[in-house]
Every structure is written in C-alpha cells, then in structure tokens.
Amino acid sequence: MPDEWNEATVQILEKIAALAQAESQHILVELQDTPGFSESTPRQQAKAYAAAVGSKLPWSALLHQARNGDIDLNAARRLFKGHAEAQDLLNSLSQANE
C-alpha cells in the first residue's frame, strides 16, 4: 500500500465505494428492465453486466465488487496507485453526477 494513504484517502475511498454501490444498483435495475435478462443464466447476466460496465479501471473493478456484494475497501485500495489517483476518480465521478 502506498505510503501516502491517510484518513483523508480512506474517506475518499468510502465516497467512491458509495458511488459505485449506487451506480451498480442503477445498472442492475436497467438490466432487469431488459427483455430476457431475468430469464438468463447467472453467467449470461454477469456478461451483460460486464458489457454495461465497460472496462475502465479502477471504476469497472469497483462496480463488479459492488455487484457481488459490498465493496471490500482493502481490496479496492489496491486498485489505486495512491491518493492522487483516488482523488482524481472521485473528482471525475462528482463532475459526472452534477
């Protein structure tokens, strides 16, 4: 874990995790409204979710964690190179939600 992780970074990560939980729920609701999704196998549903999420890391990895249950902050922390990267993601997410 980078040396620069501190309480402020943990708070940023908690905010990102909350946004990921909300976005994951939103994606799942949209997918459930898609004809045939509910009848799909779990694997097909996971593939549809992955397609909806995209592949932009670390956000996509956080969304997959949210889909599978609560985000593990320790695991999520490893997705970031440091405080600045976590802050940049939070800033971009905040701008997108305005």
Q: What is the pLDDT along the chain (98 residues), one digit of tens a residue?
A: 445 678 888 899 999 999 999 999 999 999 999 999 999 999 999 999 999 999 998 999 999 999 998 888 888 888 998 889 999 999 999 888 77
DSSP state for residue 70 in the 8-state scheme: S
Q: Give the CA dihedral 52, 56, 62, 67, nearest 10 degrees.
A: 10
The dihedral built from the CA positions of residue 35, 38, 43 and 48, taken in this order, carries a sign that is positive
CA gap 98, 83 in Å, rounded: 23
The pTM score is 0.86
